Structure 1
Amino acid sequence: MHADSDVEHVILGLEDVRYAALVRADYDAFADLCHPDLLYTHATSVVDTLDSFLEKCRSGWYDYHRLDHPVTRITVLPDVVLVFGQMIGEVTAGGTRKQLHSRTLAVWSRHQERWKLLATQSTGLPDVSPVPRPLARVGSQEDGALLRQEGRTA
């Protein structure tokens, strides 16, 4: 178990470096973390390779302003680590500024004695704005009970 916790610590550090590199627009640092066969699946279902993602970032298509990445679970397997969590932040994509709130899965694999990001998958979460409680029909029993609770009469 000790070896697994060491791997978890390393992977969490690499995740921090990965997200920071995107926000700093340090795409060489990001690329250094990635497996050559990276597949980057966005919450929009667009799939990028390492080359296509880097091209979009370097051209300004993607401009990451802020990224938080709480991790909820790490699964360590021989030569593969799965990182489950969220991505919360802001990005400009194709000239449109967007809020990000997604569940994420990152797959790290051991490649030439180093951990490399092999795949990432984002699934957008629905807007979690509070939904207003439906109002009772005027004159209904529920409406009268609510008014009585507030000290008024129906």
Structure 2
Amino acid sequence: MPKADLADEVRRLIEALEQKRYSAMLASDVATLEDLLDDDLVYTHSFGERDDKAGYLKKVANRFFIYHEIHYSSERIVVRDSCAIVAGIMRAKATVGNAAREIDNSCMAVWGKSKGQWRLIAYQPTPLRK
């Protein structure tokens, strides 16, 4: 398969994985997230806190994050060998802890392929408004 075709195939796969991840976040689906997240995950939140995989999944399981709606777009997906970087926008209405939040972020997601499976390695949002 030509290199450009392979990159397009990976982009489509990563877009599907992003959709699956956001759907799992909306549903508080820990099992799906467990499968999608890399063991070395670095997940940064809108206010700068960071979680590893275990910490993030614990918060999802305990419903620390409750997403009421999520809208996202992947504006650009860059593919290099076993790495894909997604630059996009994520907007959501959520309850975080006990606080209602409206989230409006530019974001970067890094996916890596390990042992034949693509997994999210890192996520970094940047708030677009306060």
TM norm structure 2: 0.95
Report the residue type matching 1:51 in the other structure: A
Query: Which residue is 1:44 aligned to?
Result: 47
Aligned length: 127
1:56-135 alignment, distance < 5 Å: 56-127=59-130
Percent identity reads 29
Larger radius of gyration: 1
Report the residue type matching 1:34 in the other structure: L
Paired with 2:27 and 2:97, the residues of 1 have a C-alpha distance of 18
Paired with 1:53 and 1:115, the residues of 2 have a C-alpha distance of 18
C-alpha root-mean-square deviation of aligned residues, in Å? 0.8
Tell me how far 1:18 sits from its aligned partner: 0.1
Tell me how far 1:126 sits from its aligned partner: 1.4
Query: Which residue is 1:33 aligned to?
Result: 36
Does residue 19 (structure 1) correspond to residue 13 (structure 2)? The answer is no
Report the residue type matching 1:16 in the other structure: Q
The one-character-per-residue Cα deviations of 1:10-30 (angstroms, maximum 9, x if unpaired) are 000000000000101111101
SS at match of 2:78: strand
Paired with 1:101 and 1:60, the residues of 2 have a C-alpha distance of 20
Report the residue type matching 1:81 in the other structure: A
Q: Report the structure, 1 or 2, having the larger strand content.
A: 2
Paired with 1:87 and 1:117, the residues of 2 have a C-alpha distance of 16
List gaps (5 residues or longer) in structure 2.
none
Tell me how far 1:125 sits from its aligned partner: 0.7
Tell me how far 1:69 sits from its aligned partner: 1.0
List gaps (5 residues or longer) in structure 1.
128-154
Which of structure 1's runs of 4+ aligned residues deviate more than 6 A?
none
SS at match of 1:56: helix
